[in-house]
Amino acid sequence: MKPIIPILLIFGLSVGAQAQRIVVGSKKFTESYVLGEIAKTTLQNAGFAAEVRQGMGGTIILWQALQGGEITLYPEYTGTIDEEILKTKQPLSTDQMGALLRQRGVGMTGELGFNNTYALVMRRDRAAKLGIGKISDLRNHPDLSLGLTHEFLDRQDGWTPLSARYGLQMRNVRGIDHALGYAALANGSIDLKDAYSTDARIAENNLVVLDDDLHFFPQYKAVFLYRLDMDRRAVAALETLVGTIDEARMTRLNSEAERTKNYALAAALYFGQKPVSPSNDLIRNIERWTLRHLELVGASLFLGIIAGIPLGIRASRPGPVSNFILATSGVIQTIPSLALLALLVPLPFFGISPVTAIFALFLYSLLPIVRNTATGLQDIPTAVRESAAALGLEPRAQLWKVFLPLASRTILAGVKTSAIINVGTATLAALIGVGGLGEPIISGLNLNDYSTILQGAIPAALLALLVQFFFDGLDRVFVPKGLRLKQ
């Protein structure tokens, strides 16, 4: 009888484990991808069904996704938890932090080992020439050009308090994407940028980290945040990672990920395994991305037409309601897509799902459709309008039989504009981990790897052309022949 019990136990364990599907989130930079893959492998080795959602937008989006249950865990840094999530005024001990997080239904593992704090970096040759070694040296060089990430510019432990603490009066500060910033440093268009201290590119690009001589930057110890409803055994598995990754090791893993352009491979290195080469079938990937992309564009455009044409009809009549409709759809267009996604994710029903991306794209597709419908109808000459009324047609029949067909070309042009804009904008769906052709573009941008970017960008451009041709064809179906003839 004895050997049966462990077998039953193992059996029971694996059945129990499979009941919970674990989704690991990661932020959109190399280290977060790698840590996500390491967590996934660890959980899989412990018998859980785990998957990774790569490259989600930023701290807020991941935190919301964790609270909403779209993801089960993700790697985070103590400094970020302190400053951006709990927003406490004074630094907290690990225990205090854990207690505050628990109140919000979130658990925190022990520290993984390394401290990935913010750092200011410059090219080694440039720093040597100017004699800059520490951040306070910058006081004497107010004309240096700084290219800082948008997150760093806005953070409570970011640029503004840093320059206040050091008394810096830099004149040229602008926001630039993290990955692009390295290229800008290399070609000399900026002198200085922010970086993470474990960033592999510091060594690769021969950069120096400026000494934080006033100890401004808080500690950024890596931990995993997880939902308290996550299986106890999964928590135990994660805790085995605690204290196993020091700075040198993390830097090496990051560097490996960037060299091979493969995060799973870098994660495998952590486990000392020969990595199983993941299916890297480019054609199938592009097919999968493109299909998802078409889904997003198609669904959002469909909704855009269904809602946009009636709104446009209403907006073609003069009055305050029309002004409101046109102004609102115009204002929506000015909201940056990442901001719109960040606003939608915390709302009930949305979260990290294709629905959110489709809804955002739907909002963006409204303006061209609404405006063109309204303009197309307003441009119908008074003589034609009055003739339709004078015949004795009811207003509804006037609209369907006369006005809409006459405006069809303009309306269709609006739909076409929306479709093409949506093909481009849908790449941003990857920011909330929904996939589409934005997936290779964003990960390529992070890896500074043009061929990966092109894997997404070329199909997206071709898709835009295809959409254009498709709608040119639709002109023949939807625009009556009498309107296509030349005088």
Partner 1 sequence: MIKLSSVSKKFGTTVALHETNLDVSAGKATVLIGPSGCGKSTILRLIIGLLEPTSGTIEIDGDRVTPTNILPLRRRIGYVIQEGGLFAHLTARKNILLMAKHLKQPAERMETRLHELCELTHFPEDGLLRYPVELSGGQRQRVSLMRALMLQPSVLLLDEPLGALDPMVRARLQDELKEIFKRLQQTIVMVTHDMAEAGFFADCIVLLNEGRIVQSGTLDDLRTRPATEFVREFLRAQRAVEAI
Q: Which residues bind partner 1 (CB under 8 A)?
A: 383-384, 386-394, 397, 401-402, 405-406, 408, 480-483, 485-487
Q: CA-to-CA distance for 35 and 114, rounded, in angstroms?
A: 12
* Element (DSSP H or E) covering residue 110: none
Q: What is the dihedral of CA 340, 342, 343, 349, to 10 degrees?
A: 110
Cβ proximity to partner 1, 272 vs 381, nearer residue: 381
Cβ proximity to partner 1, 344 vs 406, nearer residue: 406
The least CB distance from residue 385 to partner 1, in Å, is 9
What's the Cα-to-Cα distance from 91 to each of 82, 83, 95, 218, rounded to whole Å? 7, 9, 12, 8
The least CB distance from residue 382 to partner 1, in Å, is 9
Cβ proximity to partner 1, 184 vs 393, nearer residue: 393
Cβ proximity to partner 1, 282 vs 485, nearer residue: 485
The least CB distance from residue 430 to partner 1, in Å, is 42
Burial 203-227 (b: 16+ CB within 10 A, else e): eebebbbbebeeebbbebbbbbbbb
Cβ proximity to partner 1, 5 vs 390, nearer residue: 390
Cβ proximity to partner 1, 15 vs 483, nearer residue: 483
* Cβ proximity of 141 and 112 under 8 Å: no
The least CB distance from residue 407 to partner 1, in Å, is 10
Q: CA-to-CA distance for 179 and 137, rounded, in angstroms?
A: 26
- R_g of the chain computed on alpha carbons: 27
The least CB distance from residue 396 to partner 1, in Å, is 11
The least CB distance from residue 479 to partner 1, in Å, is 8
177 alpha carbon, distance to own chain's centre: 13
Q: Which two tokens stand for residue 82?
A: 């302190």
Write down the number of H helices and E strands in the chain.
23, 10
Cβ proximity to partner 1, 402 vs 445, nearer residue: 402
